[in-house]
Amino acid sequence: MDNSVARIQELSAAVNALKAEIAKVIVGQETVIDNILTALFANGHVLIEGVPGLAKTLMISSLAKSLSLSFSRIQFTPDLMPSDITGSDILVSDSSTGKHGFEYLKGPVFANIILADEINRTPPKTQSALLQAMQENTITSGNKTWELQKPFIVMATQNPIEQEGTYPLPEAQLDRFMFYITIDYPTYEEELMIVENTTGGVMPTITPQLGAQEIIALQKVIRDLPVSDHVLKYAVELVRASRPNSPDADPEIKRWVSWGAGPRASQYLVLGAKAVAALSGRLSPSEEDVRQVAPIVLKHRILVSFAAEAEGINSAAIVEKLLHRKLQA
């Protein structure tokens, strides 16, 4: 137990150090940064949505700079091809022998942290190029399969406005993202500080704090945290309550939801709760930790019905209703 306490303390110290580095560049957005770090140490992918100019890209690149990891930024555009992400075989010749052959040229997905910028601006065919990488940490080209280096985290951004020329992510792709995080406008005081910090002559320097092996070790600490039976049951029951075909689903859920969250949501609720507990210095997650991550785990996994859209009900409101119902139970 003493070793577990020491490892949790080490994790808390690492998170505080990362926050301090990111805060050199990013003003405010503490909850968003907490959620991104939670996903990082839970080894989960993140989709971040916000209007232009809210520093989504800067936030992810700043996190990458604070880690001694390889980083790739992929700018998703309508003409991007799957091979532009994964890589492809190219014809090469040996000048000494004159022989020709194919050699695999690795694409930008071969990095520890991938920034998939404006992921909804490219067609589903190209979006799906990330599916195998996100789920299996591998890339297949021809008859060869390549292992991706660990840790491997995809952090994607998308813009909720300017929907012309965009391609909504398929549900199978959305389900690979552990968290769906929304960034809002800064407060008045934060915006004043942003303008002051970014219009001067000196730009802050970010110092790397953690390497790959340290992150992998801390991810294992989170995986190894024990979870009580009642917390496991709470997470599974919460997810099952989102399914309209569930016997004990509320009448509103049956009317508002076309498809509920799948088993991967239960897994991510528990992993997210473990990470929240560990980052807070606790040795085991509680139901409150599950409730904390539930909105960003569930809202992109619940497909609302036409009736819900007609009544102005979105998936976030449905998650709030589910959480309220569980509190009342």
Alpha carbons 84 and 102: distance in angstroms, whole number: 17
Side chain identity at residue 322, one-letter code? L
pTM of the prediction? 0.86
Provide the H-helix boundaries in 68-157: 82-86, 124-127, 131-136
Q: Are strands 144-147 and 100-106 parallel, antiparallel or unpaired?
A: unpaired
Identify the CA nearest to 62 among candidates 270, 204, 222, 183. Answer: 204
Identify the CA nearest to 278 among candidates 212, 207, 225, 200. Answer: 225
Instruction: Cite the beta strand spans of the chain per DSSP E.
Output: 45-49, 67-68, 71-75, 87-93, 100-106, 113-117, 138-141, 144-147, 153-158, 177-182, 210-211, 257-259, 303-304
Q: Is 113 exposed, middle or buried (0-12, 13-18, 19+ CB in 10 A)?
A: buried
For 315, other C-beta atoms within 10 Å of its C-beta total 21
Which pLDDT score is estimated for 246? 83
Q: Residue 246 has what DSSP assignment?
A: S
Q: Is 26 exposed, middle or buried (0-12, 13-18, 19+ CB in 10 A)?
A: buried
Q: Which residues contact 229 (CB under 8 A, 6 or more apart)?
A: none
Q: Per residue of the chain (329 residues), what is the pLDDT tens digit?
A: 457 788 888 788 888 888 888 887 777 778 888 888 899 889 899 998 887 777 777 778 888 888 888 888 888 888 888 888 888 777 777 767 767 777 777 888 888 888 888 888 888 888 887 887 888 888 877 677 888 888 898 988 887 766 666 778 878 788 889 999 988 887 888 788 777 777 766 777 778 888 888 888 888 888 888 999 999 999 999 999 999 888 877 888 888 988 888 899 999 999 999 999 988 888 889 999 999 999 999 999 998 889 888 988 898 999 998 888 866 55
**Domains of the chain and any CATH numbers:** 1-78+109-199+208-221 (3.40.50.300), 225-329 (1.10.8.80)
According to DSSP, the residues that pair with 88 across neighbouring strands are: 105
Which pLDDT score is estimated for 201? 66
3-state secondary structure of 35: helix
